[in-house]
């Protein structure tokens, strides 16, 4: 099972089972496989502002 990651800025949770369709990220895409240019779809924070859940 792939881990979810939470944005420490706004609390948005990236769930790899859902992906981020608004940003063109398919369901099943692991957080680690997101492009470095990907940002939080809610607040625009970079990937570096996300922490692994659990």
Dist. CA 49–CA 28, nearest whole Å: 21
Residue 1, pLDDT score: 81
Q: Which residues make Cβ contacts (< 8 Å) with residue 13, sequence separation at least 6?
A: 4, 5, 6, 7, 53
**Which mean pLDDT values do the consecutive 10-residue runs of the chain (54 residues) have?**
96 98 97 97 98 92
Distances in whole angstroms, Cα of residue 53 to Cα of each of 24, 25, 29: 23, 20, 16
What is the pLDDT, as a whole number, of residue 5?
Answer: 98
- Residue 42 token pair: 């809610």
Q: What is the pTM of this model?
A: 0.93
């Amino acid at each position: 099972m792939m881990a979810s990651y939470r944005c420490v800025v706004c609390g948005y949770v990236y769930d790899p089972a859902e992906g981020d369709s608004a940003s063109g990220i398919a369901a099943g895409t692991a957080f680690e496989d997101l492009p470095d240019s990907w940002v939080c779809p809610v607040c625009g924070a970079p990937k570096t502002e996300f922490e692994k859940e659990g």
